Structure 1
Amino acid sequence: MSTEKFYKNFDLSLQFKQEANGNSGVFFRSTFEGTKVSGWQVEVAPPGHDTGGVYESYGRGWLVQIPEEKETILKPGAWNTLRIRVEGGHVQTWLNGQPMVDFTDEKIGQGEGAIALQIHDGGGIKVRWKDLIVNQL
């Protein structure tokens, strides 16, 4: 599921609940070729797997992973609040009100694309999403 509109600068908040292990996330400034999504993803994953970190799909891979001491912020099996703010090349994420990443990247600053919810197939993953609010900056 993705926005039809491209969002360059935005502040997005949403809630998610993982009901089975697996990898998911929120793509931003992303484009689509069939099922191939190119762009950036804020990770949503089980504990110990960098929820709130930023990954570049079909590009450089992990840009910012989450330090071990922040891995306990995720509430497995419960509703979690994720906030993503992107302005130019500046990216910030928060999980349950706690800052997760804050960095600037020139390539992200040049990117354009949609916001989308991501889920990998297989593995029995199940993620629920609600209360998505995007504010264009």
Structure 2
Amino acid sequence: MLGNTIFSLLGFIVIGGIGLLHAGEDAKKNDDGFESIFDGKTLDGWEEMPSLARKAWSVVDGMIVGEGDKGRGYLTYSKNKEIANFELKFLYRFPGKGNSGVNIRARVDKTGRRKFEGYHADIGHVGIGGNVLGAWDFHTPGRREHRCFRGDSLVIGKDDKPTITPLKDAVTVKDINKGGWNELHIIVNGNRFQFFLNGKPSAEFLEHLPEAKRLHSGMIQLQLHDPGMIVHFKDIRLKLLK
């Protein structure tokens, strides 16, 4: 009888341990399908590109810190460098002035014009202007760099001609926390690109260019643009879409 009791207890402990293990694994993913890609302690899973002698990126108090005086460049999510369709969310903060953003579907620029080519979601300090804060840039050699500022909905035709209309209920400067934390949310699905700030649409575009002129997959990169600037990132979450 005692043996059976001990056996039952051992079985309970083993099964319980397995359950806790799976619970720990599932904790990385939320019910909404997002997975944390920054552990809050290290830069594991991230790569500085180009590699700099003075490391411009570090982790302080649970956040990624980019320091412009240590070099201009990018912090690349290195666990998957061929990401196509996805949602990305994170919190960012500029203690002072600064210019940053996110490269998506990024690749090494073989023309040498830039370090990388890609679609670029711009962020910056409040006051930098709508052509940066909340805008899309097109760092793609061989095609036009269209305007897609905060408040714009852009459609790029097959002939590379743009059509811009106002974005309904777009975010304004009043919705952005100056010097504090703000949430960025990007949705990329096929040829549609959406950019939200603090839950409100900021800029979007839809491109109908021939497939050979479009970027279909690539890296996600956080940008460090200017000397003297500091930018903070935390709570970085990614959801891959089919």
TM-score (structure 2 length as normaliser): 0.51
Instruction: Give 1:104 deviation, angstroms.
Output: 0.5
Q: Does 1:30 align with 2:106?
A: yes
Please state whether the residue corresponding to 1:64 is helix, strand or coil.
Answer: coil
- Deviation of residue 108 (structure 1)? 10
Number of aligned residues: 136
Structure with higher Rg: it is 2
- Identify the structure with the greater strand proportion: 1
How far did residue 62 of structure 1 move? 4.6
Between 59-68 and 47-56, report the one with greater CA deviation.
59-68
Could you tell me how far apart the structure 2 residues matched to 1:87 and 1:119 are?
26
5+ residue gaps, structure 2, are 1-74, 152-169
RMSD of aligned alpha carbons: 2.3
Change (3 A) 1:76 1:58: same
The answer to which of 65-74 and 5-14 deviates more is 65-74
- 1:89–1:107 CA contact under 8 A, matched in 2: no
Any gaps of 5 or more consecutive residues in structure 1?
A: none
> What is residue 2 of structure 1 aligned with on the other side?
76
Say which structure is richer in helix: 2
Runs of 4+ in 1 over 3 A off after TM superposition: 58-63, 106-110
Higher RCO (C-alpha 8 Å, min separation 6): 1
TM-score by length of 1: 0.86
Counterpart for residue 114 of structure 1: 219
Deviation per residue, 1:16-71 (Å, 9 max, x gap): 00112121001100013597121111001122243221101254335410149723
**Distance change in 2, residues 1:94/1:13 (3 Å):** same
Corresponding residue for residue 98 of structure 1:
200
